[in-house]
Chains A and B, each alone.
Chain A
């Protein structure tokens, strides 16, 4: 199994089209320009972390250069990298915009190490994005190896002794799927490194971390139980949302964000040809509070009018008056394929709503996304004016992870 991870991808992508940024401390700013979503190694060395607000980053790295994100460009490079990986592997998983898993099978007479180097070098040659490649017996090990080999590394480790040495040096939290809470559950049993986990009793690991933890145990011991998915499995949930940039306590603005998120969510429901059986509105407030509202339409739907009627009371429940809200997510669950949606006895007539939805789709397809949209989004005119907001990381389709 192989794992390929682009090195500080967004920054590297900016450097592909702007040589000036090479070797400089560079931070790519997120959707509203408030947070650093990617940083160069130079900026990282200054102490800037991913997700750090820009005003904190400025203190740590006052001469850093800040760049606005461009997900369309990042997707172009991501798909070029994907093409290269597909040339050298028969089975590739598009895990995220900058990370792929692949089945590693070197050509006759070649070693796994040579395959890792060839892949890294071919991507650098063709796309000019530095990547790190790890190859191992399982995908969990491959990811640990590529993480250890960063940046611009290529490393194949298939010998169990070499694996054990690597695992002994890595804290257990470096395994994807084991963060603070799970690590705390393991700590009383003396499980602190990846090797501790691999050497622990399988039944204990299952009792502490459930079946998903046991899968990691098998993987760490060289038994591949997590397959490579060349196609994205069907979504269990779809969501749209994110940071507002500037916190707001104005209910009209909050409602505008809800409608914007709903329109984007409906695009996604339509793309996947599914209807939402339940909506959740999640709002995070500046004082640390979180508001959640949940409701289900009478029958699963992808219609704007029905879903807005469902989402509105959810927002009311999630709303904390006079407290500035910083971010919102709108989540659709209980997804039903459109053709198999149960009919309700009292479904409102669909002709008018469908005609409006069709018109909206056609106008926007011809003149630009969100050109025709709900009037409730008018308070967000500044957001819509910025064409960069038309395309977000979640609009990059086909990847498994966010």
Chain B
């Protein structure tokens, strides 16, 4: 499972940095600053594009904040197609990313990753990363059985 993403500093609006306390997520790679959003973080978050605006929302329900949302940060594409999210007000969103992390491997992402945004019982937006079975290459590279659905790109 893709357990993290990195987004270049330049891609993040300044007002979001202050509002969501993103400064602690800043790291440097090759002399360039980036934000790292990791699922293992005590407050897992992901940036998403919604209605033409970049927002930072909760990534999944790993800590059981919601009683009815699945306790994970990912969903299969097939689950969406089978109607598993029907009736919950879920909408597809794009998760912008410059890099993604899977089992220690940072790999390049050209545009971003497909996500599913859903409100919990208190109306708080929660995003799930959409996955599919890993390609042979991805599986060898990361030793993972599933891979995120990248926007207009396949590894």
Contacts and interface: CB of A to CB of B under 8 A. Distances in A.
Interface of A: 18, 20-25, 29, 32-34, 42, 54-55, 58, 62-68, 245-246, 382-383, 385-386, 388
11 contacts: A18-B110, A23-B32, A29-B141, A33-B137, A34-B141, A54-B105, A55-B143, A63-B106, A66-B106, A66-B141, A245-B137
* Chain B binding surface SS class: mixed
Nearest to A23: B30
User: Which applies to chain A's interface (DSSP): helix, strand, loop or mixed?
Assistant: mixed
A384 B108 CA distance: 23
A383 B139 CA distance: 12
Interface in B109-155: 110, 135-141, 143, 155
List the 8 shortest-distance A-B pairs measured between CB atoms, nearest first.
A24-B30, A33-B141, A382-B136, A33-B140, A33-B137, A245-B140, A23-B30, A58-B104
B32 A24 contact: yes
B136 A66 contact: no
**Among B8, B105, B137, B139: residue with most chain A CB under 10 A:** B137
Nearest to A243: B140
B141 A63 contact: no
Most buried by B among A34, A42, A63, A245: A63
B24 interface: no
A388 B154 CA distance: 10
Nearest to A57: B105
Contacts of A55: 143
A39 B140 CA distance: 19
B66 interface: no
B141 A65 contact: no
Contact of B108 (A42, A65, A382): A65
Contacts, number: 66
Contacts of A382: 135-136
A380 to B, nearest CB: 9
Contacts of B31: 23
B76 interface: no
B106 A33 contact: no
A33 B102 CA distance: 14
Contacts of B140: 32-34, 245-246
A65 B136 contact: no
A245 B8 CA distance: 32
A92 B93 CA distance: 52
B42 interface: no
B10 to A, nearest CB: 10
A20 B8 contact: yes
Contacts of B139: 33, 246
